[in-house]
Every structure is written in structure tokens, then in C-alpha cells.
Amino acid sequence: MINCTPKLGGQFELESGGQFAPKLVVNLHWNRMVNLTGFSNNSKGIDSYIGRIYKNEPQAYVRTMDDDAGTMSSWFVMRSIGLSPANIGSPIYYLTAPIFETVKLNWENGKSFHIKVRNYNKNHFYIQSARLNGQPLFRNWLSQEEISNGGTLIIETGVLPNKKWGIEDQWISKTE
């Protein structure tokens, strides 16, 4: 079990004797853990790791990393477009700050889902607000059904966290 503790200024510290290390598969769930604390907007997008850990080239991760049968590269792609799987087997994705200004996902049913970033800047790691199909989105997640139905998600990003965004209607997996 890994515990995380909120610190002053909204930062988190792992109580497992280590730090968050985005180059390790076991730390891919960090974003999900932070989202479940109610401090959802303190989870950064992938931008802050571009160039240091992940690079824009065929072997896009540091040489000491193991891609683990595609786990690391698929995580990188999902986080890069602004979506982070909330839980394996659950059709829910947490929102993160994309590294692209626009993304278009084309579905076999002919529909498309567009992700657009307002106030785009490579140093804007935090979501300030979001709109789904023109309506304000106060939660920090989308369902696969919402994405598959097509439409437009507009994410506004900024340098500092908006601590009031993304804390309503928290998605928490249920066991049955």
C-alpha cells in the first residue's frame, strides 16, 4: 500500500520511502491517487517531464526504462492528449493538461472527439477550467461513452492550479 500526504502548498509526498517517479510503471497511478484526494488539480500533465524523461523520438523514454510491453508508451500517449485512465477495466478517464494545442480522435462510427487547449503554453501544467460540448465541466473526468459520442472538450490551462476546479463529482471506482 502506498499512502500520500498533502503538504503545505498542495504538494504531495509518497509515504513509501520514495518520490513520484514518472519513469516507473508503479507510479503511473500517481495521477489517480491525487485525483481521489480532492486535490485533483495538483496533478500535473505530462509536459513537465518532456525532454527530461520522455523525448520526441522513436525511443521516447530514457534508456534505463523498460517499456513493459507498451505500458509506458501507451501511458505517455494517453497523458499527452489530456486523458489518463482512471482504473484498469473502468471506462473513465481523468483529465490532464495536454501537450498538444488540438487533438482529434476519429471513431469507427464516423464521429470525432476534439480536444482543444485554450491559453495553450508549454509551461501551463494545470487545468483551470473545462467545457464539454459548450457546457461547463466541473468534474475532472470523462466517460468512454462521452468521448465515443463525439464532440468537443475545451481545456483551459495555466501556470498555477485552480484549486476550485475538478473537485466536484469525484469518480471513485466501486468494487462489487
Q: Tell me how far apart the alpha carbons of residues 81 and 83 are, in angstroms, rounded to a whole number.
A: 6
pLDDT tens by residue, the chain, 176 residues: 334 444 433 334 444 444 445 555 555 556 556 666 655 554 455 555 555 555 556 665 555 555 666 666 677 788 888 888 887 778 999 898 888 899 999 999 899 999 999 999 988 888 999 999 999 999 999 999 999 999 999 999 999 888 888 888 877 666 54
Q: What are phi and psi of 108, to 5 degrees?
A: -60, -25
Q: Residue 61 pairs with which residues in a beta bridge? A: 54
Nearest to 142 by CA among 99, 105, 176: 105
Tell whether pTM > 0.95: no
Within 10 angstroms of residue 13's Cβ, the number of other Cβ atoms is 13
- The x, y and z cell numbers of residue 176, run together, are 462489487
Query: What is the C-alpha end-to-end distance of the chain, expressed in Å?
Result: 21
- The x, y and z cell numbers of residue 98, run together, are 495536454
- The x, y and z cell numbers of residue 142, run together, are 470523462
pLDDT for the residue numbered 161: 85
